[in-house]
Amino acid sequence: MLKVKVFADGADRVGISQLAANPLIKGFTTNPTLMKQAGITDYLLFAREIVEIVAPRPLSLEVFSDEFDEMKRQAKILAKLGPNVNVKIPITNTRQETSLNLVRELVREGVRVNVTALFTMEQVQQTIESIEGGPSSYVSVFAGRIADTGVDPLPIMTRSLELLASTSHELIWASPREVFNIVQADQIGCHIITVTHDLIKKVNLIGKNLEEYSLDTVKMFANDAVAAGFAI
CA neighbor of 9 nearest in space, from 192, 186, 131, 220: 192
Cα-flanking dihedrals φ and ψ of residue 62, to 5°?
A: -105, 140
> Which residues neighbour 125 within 8 Å (Cβ) at sequence distance 6 or greater?
163
Q: Which of the following is catalytic: 3, 88, 201, 219?
A: 88
Q: Is 88 a catalytic residue?
A: yes
d(CA 111, CA 134): 8
What backbone torsions phi and psi does residue 139 show, to the nearest 5 degrees?
-120, 110
Quick one: how far is CA 185 from the chain centroid?
Answer: 13
Active site positions, annotated: 88
